[in-house]
């Protein structure tokens, strides 16, 4: 049982934040050396945070890539993504700890392999935690959904348990992780307990254009991870890599109060039909789930307006809704179309 617990803490706990990689609970020598602890324990070694920063300088421009901003991809976070310190429509992750895990296009973790086998995901991605289970133990990531960040990581069983607390600055940047580990054993009929406290400083060294770190300094260890993404994060399309601009759509619904309209696209071009007749359509932009489709007179080919709104897909269900703007008059009407 203890072996399984160790597997969880080494493969899970610090993988997401780039932490230590212990081989056994008692091998304190493999723990990262950490710094700036007000009350060091016997297992704690202090390093100078300024020296660590000088070794791996991090400019404000670099941090601006990593921190939360107003872009849709960076703000797309579920509890499962937050637990792994990820954002955006992540598909697959490989870590330097030999772990790998997958997400669907809706941000739900579908597979976690710690290098020795798969762990079971126990809850949905809209809850305030990510709970994982392996025979012999379990662990839980506590999520602050309001601020979209990881608060705690806890787990274990009676003989070996842990509680990690993640500490952020006023701007929401992760500063360090407080690690509290408790080991219990029975010697000559008496229970013995050992507690270890460690403070690991965290510094992002490299990040990708989605806003996720790919290289991090955690204590004195360097962690890396390789991340791939769903090509077009709109539910059912992620399997083929298609998007509304290069696939076939057949939608019906309302445009400006007319509830008997049809809307079609095939490889970005098509038609829409309402009570006034049939018009030509052409998809011109699709970014972060927002689709823009221009409309033209079928005879003169002059532009008469454009559709602009959100396009979503859940399984086989597709919905396109937003506002149609008449380019001649400037008038606007709502539209709501689905298959």
User: What pLDDT, in 10s, does the model give residues 171-220?
Assistant: 888 999 999 999 988 888 888 889 999 999 999 998 887 788 999 999 99
Which residues are registered as beta bridge partners of 84? none
Rg (Cα) of the chain, in Å, rounded?
25
DSSP conformational letter for 86: -
Return the higher-pLDDT residue of 19 and 186.
186
In angstroms, rounded to a whole number, what is the distance separating the alpha carbons of residues 144 and 149?
5
pLDDT of 17: 37
Domains of the chain with bracketed CATH:
2-229 (no CATH), 235-338 (2.40.128)
- Mean pLDDT over 96-105 rounds to 89
Closest CA to 125 of 166, 70, 83, 63: 83
The residue behind tokens 């070794």 is 55
Closest CA to 143 of 224, 78, 208: 78
pLDDT of 315: 57
The residue behind tokens 């019906």 is 252
DSSP conformational letter for 26: T
The residue behind tokens 């739900």 is 108
User: pTM for the complete prediction?
Assistant: 0.52
Structure tokens at 163: 């509680």
pLDDT at 145 over 60: yes
Backbone φ and ψ for 63, nearest 5 degrees, come out as -65, -30
- Mean pLDDT over 51-70 rounds to 32
How many whole angstroms from its chain centre is CA 338? 28
In angstroms, rounded to a whole number, what is the distance separating the alpha carbons of residues 92 and 111?
9
Closest CA to 85 of 161, 172, 171, 169: 172
Structure tokens at 54: 């000088």
Structure tokens at 177: 């992780």
Q: Please, how many CA atoms are within 13 Å of residue 252, restricted to the half-sphere of its CB?
A: 3
The secondary structure of 197-257 as a DSSP string is EEEEEEEEEEE-TTS-EEEEEETTEEEEEEEEE-SS-SGGGGGTT--TTSSEEEEEEEETT
pLDDT of 243: 63
Indicate the range of 36-50, 120-134, 141-155 predicted with least confidence.
Answer: 36-50
> Tens of pLDDT along 279-314?
999 888 887 778 899 999 888 888 999 999 998 876
In angstroms, rounded to a whole number, what is the distance separating the alpha carbons of residues 281 and 100?
43
pLDDT of 231: 64
Q: 3-state SS of the chain: helix, strand, coil percent to 5?
A: 15, 50, 40
Alpha helices in the chain (DSSP H): 2-8, 49-55, 60-66, 72-75, 79-83
């Amino acid at each position: 049982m203890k072996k399984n617990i160790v597997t969880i803490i080494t493969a899970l706990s610090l993988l997401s934040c780039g932490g230590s990689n212990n081989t056994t609970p008692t091998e304190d020598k493999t723990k990262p050396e950490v710094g700036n602890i007000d009350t060091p324990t016997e297992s704690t070694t202090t390093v100078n945070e300024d020296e660590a920063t000088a070794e791996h300088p991090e400019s404000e421009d670099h941090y601006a890539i990593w921190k939360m901003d107003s872009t849709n991809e960076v703000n797309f976070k579920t509890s499962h993504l937050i637990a792994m310190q990820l954002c955006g429509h992540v598909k697959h992750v490989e870590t330097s700890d030999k772990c790998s895990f997958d997400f669907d296009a809706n941000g739900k973790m579908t597979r976690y392999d710690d290098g020795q086998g798969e762990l079971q995901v126990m809850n949905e991605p809209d809850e305030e935690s990510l709970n994982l289970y392996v025979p012999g133990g379990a662990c839980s990531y506590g999520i602050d959904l309001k601020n979209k960040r990881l608060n705690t990581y806890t787990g274990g069983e009676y003989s070996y348990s842990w509680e990690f607390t993640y500490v952020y600055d006023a701007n929401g940047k992760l500063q360090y992780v407080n690690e509290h580990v408790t080991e219990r054993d029975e010697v000559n009929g008496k229970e013995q307990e050992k507690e270890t406290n460690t403070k690991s400083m965290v510094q992002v060294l490299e990040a990708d254009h989605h806003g996720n770190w790919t290289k991090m300094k955690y204590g004195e260890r360097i962690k890396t991870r390789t991340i791939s993404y769903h090509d077009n994060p709109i539910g059912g399309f992620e399997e083929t890599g298609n998007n509304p601009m290069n696939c076939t759509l057949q939608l019906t619904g309302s445009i400006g109060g007319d509830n008997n309209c049809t809307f079609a696209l095939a490889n970005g071009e098509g038609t829409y039909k309402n009570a006034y007749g049939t018009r030509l359509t052409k998809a011109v932009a699709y970014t972060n789930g927002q689709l823009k489709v221009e409309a033209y007179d079928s005879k003169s080919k002059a532009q008469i307006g454009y559709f602009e709104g959100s396009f979503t897909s859940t399984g086989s269900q597709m919905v396109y809704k937003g506002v149609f703007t008449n380019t001649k008059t400037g008038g606007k009407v709502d539209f709501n179309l689905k298959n």
